[in-house]
């Protein structure tokens, strides 16, 4: 009996890299982000400096928070398309109410529609079992209508951006955008909630197998209602931050962020069918999209070509990412 040593066949390097990346899905995303920044630097040498980074982060934060709403709702197999409307509403109400009211009162007034829309979304999806896509589209339609009616009543009083929000949205201290003061705890809270708390685990459970979750005693509608209210409140806060950044209240302020927020969550590896994903990937996804937008702006292409490239890159990145993660 010759003892043939059972040495495992050497795994080819390419395969090993692939497996390594599949185990840590964040790494290919960060590599992509770095590649994009390098391309940017090559195209326009010297552009990547402290100021540029601060600026990119400033614009990525609102997108990242909204993408957080999408991540959480997508974990349960849903989606929240009303975030754009909610953010716009809270921003617009804040900017118009602060003219005559105490900022704290204006803040409460601004968050009211957010809570309300979240509650309606949650009841529709959780109790009546309406498809989240339809439910949130419907409430966003209602919200936009209400906002237009509201606009008529305040057209005389004008609008102003509270100094605090402008400081938070655009200010930079020691090279760090002030918005990070809000965002870092918020992001930490979302990551912590998803990974370590019972509520977070319930979200994954509901998305993975709703029936099993309900049969094991989870009150589905309560989870969903709490989820959509959280998502709406986050969107409302985003609106306040965004108005400080853009400084021009309008009725479609945050609308252009909705579809990119879905894209950011998807690029970040959250499954749109629920049960899989997390917030850290989404943050990188939001950064990738923001850098990508800068890149496309710098290339000075016509608007049309820019949109085409944006769409194609989102599709390509998502497809490539799925390949890497699923080919185990």
Partner 1 sequence: MSHFLRRQGWVTGLFALLIILFIVTKVIQPGYGSGDFGSLARAVLPYAFAVAAQTVVVIAGGIDLSVAAMMALTSVTAASMMAGASEEYALFVVPFVLAMGFVLGALNGVLIVVTRVPDIVVTLAMLFVLQGAALLVLGAPGGAAAEWLKAMISGTVPIPGLPDSVDAWVPKALLVLVVCLCVVWIPLRRSRLGLSIYAIGSSELAAFRSGVPVARTRIIAYALSGLFAAMGGLALTMSTGIGAPIPGPYLLASVAAVVLGGVALGGGKGGLLGPIVAVFVLRLVRTDLTLLAIDPNVTAIIEGLIMVAVVMFGAFITMRGRQ
Tell whether residue 306 is a contact of partner 1 (CB under 8 A): yes
Distance CA 85, CA 144 (A): 6
CA distance 228 to 136: 10
279 vs 310, beta carbon nearer partner 1:
310
Strands 176-177 and 172-173: antiparallel
Q: Give the angle 201-205-208 at the CA atoms, nearest 5°.
A: 140
Part in contact with partner 1 (CB under 8 A); list of ranges 49-57, 146-154, 192-200, 203-211: 146-154
Which member of 148, 157, 197, 252 binds partner 1 (CB under 8 A)? 148
Member of 15, 24, 131, 219 binding partner 1 (CB under 8 A): 131
Shorter beta-carbon distance to partner 1: residue 86 or 262 = 262
- Spell 249-277 as b/e; 16+ CB within 10 A means b: beeebbbebbebbbbbbbbbbbbeebbeb
Residue 318, interface with partner 1 (CB under 8 A)?
Answer: yes
Closer CB to partner 1, 234 or 292, in the complex? 292
Q: Is 158 in the site for partner 1 (CB under 8 A)?
A: no
Instruction: Name the region of 275 (left: φ>0; alpha: ψ -120 to 50; beta: rest).
Output: left
Token pair listed for 80: 């929240």
Report in angstroms how near the CB of residue 170 gets to partner 1 at its nearest.
28
* Calpha distance 61→171 (Å, rounded): 13
Out of 134, 195, 212, 299, name the contact with partner 1 by CB under 8 A. 134
DSSP structure class, residue 209? -
Task: Report the C-alpha dihedral over residues 223, 229, 230, 231, rounded to 10 degrees.
Answer: 110
Give the 3-state secondary structure percentages of the chain, helix then strand then coil, rounded to 5.
Answer: 75, 0, 25
Q: Is 194 in contact with 200 (CB distance < 8 Å)? A: yes
- Is 129 a binding residue for partner 1 by CB under 8 A? The answer is yes
Is residue 256 at the binding interface for partner 1, with CB under 8 A as the rule? no
Rounded CA-CA distance 80/136 in Å is 6
- Closest Cα partner for 66 from 213, 234, 215? 234
* Contact map string, positions 53 to 92, toward partner 1, x by CB under 8 A: --------------------------x-------------
Beta bridge partners of 177: 172
What six digits make up the tokens of 95? 């900017």
Decide if residue 299 touches partner 1 (CB under 8 A): no
The answer to the question of residue 272 lying near partner 1 (CB under 8 A) is yes
CB of residue 117 to partner 1, shortest distance in Å: 11
Nearer to partner 1, 283 or 314 (CB): 314
Residue of 173, 185, 305, 327 interacting with partner 1 (CB under 8 A): 305
Choice from 27, 33, 53, 146 touching partner 1 (CB under 8 A) = 146
The residue behind tokens 């890159």 is 313
Q: Does 35 bind partner 1 (CB under 8 A)?
A: no
Print the binding letters for residues 211-250 with partner 1: x by CB under 8 A, - otherwise. Answer: ----------------------------------------
What's the closest the beta carbon of residue 144 comes to partner 1, in angstroms?
6
Is the separation of the CB atoms in 68 and 87 below 8 Å?
no
Which one of 7, 46, 128, 174 is in contact with partner 1 (CB under 8 A)?
128
Residues in contact with partner 1 by CB under 8 A are: 79, 120, 124, 128-131, 133-135, 137-139, 141-142, 144-146, 148-149, 152, 259, 262-263, 266, 271-273, 302-312, 314-315, 318-319, 322, 326
């Amino acid at each position: 009996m010759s003892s043939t040593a059972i040495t495992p066949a050497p795994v080819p390097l390419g395969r090993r890299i692939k497996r390594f990346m599949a185990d840590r899905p964040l790494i290919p995303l960060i590599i992509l982000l770095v590649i994009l920044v390098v391309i940017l630097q090559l195209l326009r040498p010297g552009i990547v400096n402290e100021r540029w980074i601060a600026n990119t982060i400033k614009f990525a934060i609102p997108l990242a928070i909204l993408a957080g709403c999408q991540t959480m709702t997508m974990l349960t197999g849903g989606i929240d398309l009303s975030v754009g409307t909610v953010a716009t509403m809270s921003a617009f109400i804040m900017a118009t109410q602060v003219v005559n009211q105490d900022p704290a009162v204006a803040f409460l007034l601004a968050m009211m529609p957010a809570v309300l829309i979240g509650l309606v979304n949650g009841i529709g999806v959780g109790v009546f079992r309406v498809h989240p896509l339809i439910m949130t589209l419907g409430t966003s339609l209602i919200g936009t209508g209400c906002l237009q009616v509201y606009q008529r009543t305040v057209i005389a009083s004008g609008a102003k951006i509270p100094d605090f929000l402008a400081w938070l949205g655009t200010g930079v201290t020691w090279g760090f955008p002030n918005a990070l003061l809000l965002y870092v705890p918020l992001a930490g809270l979302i990551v912590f909630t998803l990974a370590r708390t019972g509520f977070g685990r319930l979200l994954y459970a509901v998305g993975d197998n709703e029936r099993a979750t309900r049969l094991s005693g989870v009150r589905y509608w309560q989870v969903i209602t709490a989820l959509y209210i959280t998502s709406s409140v986050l969107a409302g806060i985003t609106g306040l931050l965004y108005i400080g950044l853009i400084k021009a209240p309008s009725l479609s302020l945050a609308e252009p962020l909705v579809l990119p927020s879905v894209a950011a969550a998807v690029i970040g590896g959250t499954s749109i069918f629920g049960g899989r994903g997390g917030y850290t990937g989404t943050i990188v996804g939001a950064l990738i999209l923001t850098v990508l937008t800068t890149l496309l702006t710098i290339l000075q292409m016509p608007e049309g070509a820019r949109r085409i490239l944006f769409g194609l890159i989102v599709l390509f990145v998502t497809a490539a990412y799925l390949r890497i993660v699923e080919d185990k």
